[in-house]
Amino acid sequence: MNEQEVIERVFGAPIDLVWELWTTAEGIATWFGPKGFTVKVDAIDLRVGGSFVYTMTKDASESEGPSSFSVESTFTVVERPHRLVYESPWRTEMMSTDVTLSETAEGVKLVLIIGATKPGMTGGAAKGWHSSLDRLAETFASRA
């Protein structure tokens, strides 16, 4: 029920390389910044309870100089090379980023679940919360 929230991709690459790009400062810096942003990883302590801090800098443009902000997240699941979950404070909620990698005949399948969550909400409770948000958003999107 939560297609809208879940993003899936298949990569033609070894799983260890995909994992490395998700979990090392040097790897993350190569892809994490959206267009016009540079990302620098300030800390990455890859274990449950460890922190993941990055600074995202908006490249200077003609009208304004560079501006940056930092995001400090905490890992809640670290299972090399298959699963990674971290939570980041977001407004009054938490945002969870849940990554699952699996090896398939076509390549490494990535399933990414992004959602608002309550602090400490994991597993089934978080899933329910995600899929509810999805259903709501879906209904309203299709109606619009």
Tell me phi and psi for residue 30, to 5 degrees: -80, -15
Sole binder of another protein in the list 4, 57, 100, 122 (CB under 8 A): 4
Give the number of other CB atoms < 10 A from CB of residue 117: 23
Q: Is 1 in the site for another protein (CB under 8 A)?
A: no
For the record, the structure tokens of 103 come out as 């090896």
Q: Three-state DSSP class for 34?
A: coil
104 binds another protein per the rule CB under 8 A: no
Question: Look-up: residue for tokens 């800098």?
Answer: 57
CB nearer to another protein: pick between 50 and 129 = 129
In the chain the beta strands, taken as DSSP E runs, fall at: 6-11, 37-44, 51-58, 67-79, 83-90, 93-104, 107-117
Single residue of 105, 114, 126, 127 touching another protein by CB under 8 A: 114
Is 25 one of the binding residues for another protein (CB under 8 A)?
Answer: no
Q: Residue 101: what residue type? A: L
With binding defined as CB under 8 A, does residue 5 bind another protein? yes
User: How many residues bind to another protein according to rule CB under 8 A?
Assistant: 39
Per CB under 8 A, 21 contacts another protein: yes
- Chain positions contacting another protein, by CB under 8 A: 4-5, 7, 9, 11-13, 17-18, 21, 27, 30-35, 91-93, 110, 112, 114, 116, 118, 128-129, 132-141, 143-144
